[in-house]
Amino acid sequence: MADAPYLVALALVEIAGKRALPLTGKSQPAAAAEASDPGDSGHTLALELLLRLWQRSDDGALQRAAGEQSLLLLELPLDVMSEQLPLLKAKWISGGETEALLGSLRNLVIRGWRISIAKYEPVSFIAWS
């Protein structure tokens, strides 16, 4: 199970002027790594994350902190997710550079997607590298 990838949805946002990096995730079966997109698991994680963001908007104005790269779905090794992601998150929240965070994430992911939606279109996952 240690070799199974972990799928993580995360958002780089500011809530009431303070940085936040909420995330949600779940382990993936090894067969999911062969799929071309994250499928139902990706849609479920994106929905969960967006609902959490919507609830947190009660705390103040919500703003994307990285433009189109503010909502990501990443496939990571479990050890990276549990050991390195919390450190990157803490560094960014405390004032680290956004581009440095995105660059570090790119170096750690197995695969990644930007989560996007256009008017009258379904949610789409755009390859992120």
Q: What's the domain range around 96? A: 5-127
C-alpha–C-alpha distance, residues 43 and 23, integer Å: 14
Query: H or E stretch including 77?
Result: strand 71-77
The model carries a pTM of 0.90
Instruction: Give pLDDT, residue 33.
Output: 66
The band of 1, judged by pLDDT with boundaries at 50, 70 and 90, is very low
C-alpha–C-alpha distance, residues 67 and 115, integer Å: 12
Q: What is the mean pLDDT of the chain?
A: 91
C-alpha–C-alpha distance, residues 44 and 47, integer Å: 5
53-68: pLDDT as tens digits = 999 999 999 999 999 9
Q: Total domain count for the chain?
A: 1
